[in-house]
């Protein structure tokens, strides 16, 4: 055992495990890599969670649950379907907490799409044209304006795509990272399939779903 790992206390490992739900040895290795810094160890585990999530993304997620969240005294309501691989995981408190958090986030942040890939060509072209016109109007040369627009479109994705948005409970974590952390903990592929958001007095509800058959093997709902 390395000296660095030996210097990590059991109390530190226990605290990190309680924070993240990661296995004990993963917590110890993360703390060692982070030289005992708890917050940095969380980052290390999140990065590993993203890696785990990527490996599991091709696995079929056909179980899961539909959850609802009612906000602002009944003025805003959300339905969301989140899928996993087994009914066992779907019934765990960790998975239920994730689905609830996602529903609550949708109520608060009003995303329009699930993923970047779901943004329609029309929406993408419209926003790009608006950003490009603004950049050129500010006096920027065309080549510089094009580079500015690329950065602006990433910001656009962050504003309208659920998986790109910063989680309302922790602005340093995106929804995709939140899901990846649960994938690392629960060991199954997890996918947001679709959601609907209703607001009293708003004639048009937001209804979003994966726009094509996703890699996880599930079928996307047909467009209405």
| CATH architecture entry for 3-56 | Orthogonal Bundle (1.10)
* pLDDT tier at 219, thresholds 50, 70, 90: very low
b/e map 59-70, b = 16+ CB within 10 Å:
eebebbbebebe
Task: Tell me: pLDDT of 216 over 50.
Answer: no
pLDDT tens-digit profile of 179-205? 998 998 898 899 999 999 999 988 888
- At the topology level, CATH places domain 120-157 in GTP Cyclohydrolase I; Chain A, domain 1 (1.10.286)
Closest alpha carbon to 76 in 195, 176, 224: 195
* 3 vs 28: which has the higher pLDDT: 28
Domain spanning 63-117+161-209: CATH superfamily: Elongation factor Ts, dimerisation domain (3.30.479.20)
For residues 39 and 105, the model is more confident at: 105
**Percent above pLDDT 70 for the chain:** 89
Give me the residue spans of the domains in the chain: 3-56, 63-117+161-209, 120-157
pTM score of the predicted model: 0.70
- The confidence score (pLDDT) of residue 134 equals 84
Predicted local confidence at residue 56, as pLDDT: 74
């Amino acid at each position: 055992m390395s000296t660095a790992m030996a210097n990590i206390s059991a109390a530190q490992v226990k605290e990190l495990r309680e924070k993240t739900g990661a296995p004990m040895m993963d917590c110890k290795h993360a703390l060692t890599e982070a030289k005992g810094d708890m917050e940095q160890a969380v980052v290390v585990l999140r990065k590993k969670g993203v890696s785990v999530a990527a490996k599991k993304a091709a696995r079929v997620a056909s179980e899961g649950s539909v959850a609802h969240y009612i906000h602002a005294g009944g003025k805003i309501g959300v339905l969301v379907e989140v899928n996993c691989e087994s009914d066992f995981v779907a019934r765990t408190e960790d998975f239920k907490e994730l689905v609830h958090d996602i529903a609550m986030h949708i109520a608060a942040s009003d995303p329009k799409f699930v993923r970047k890939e779901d943004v329609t060509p029309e929406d993408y072209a419209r926003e790009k044209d608006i950003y490009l016109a603004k950049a050129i109007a500010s006096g920027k040369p065309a080549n510089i304006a094009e580079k500015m627009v690329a950065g602006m479109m990433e910001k656009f994705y962050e504003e309208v795509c659920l998986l790109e948005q910063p989680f309302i409970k922790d602005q340093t974590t995106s929804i995709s990272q939140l899901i990846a952390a649960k994938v690392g903990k629960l060991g199954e592929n997890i996918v947001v399939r679709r959601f609907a958001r209703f607001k009293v007095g708003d004639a048009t509800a937001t209804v979003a779903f994966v726009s094509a058959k996703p890699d996880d093997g599930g079928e996307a709902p047909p467009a209405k």
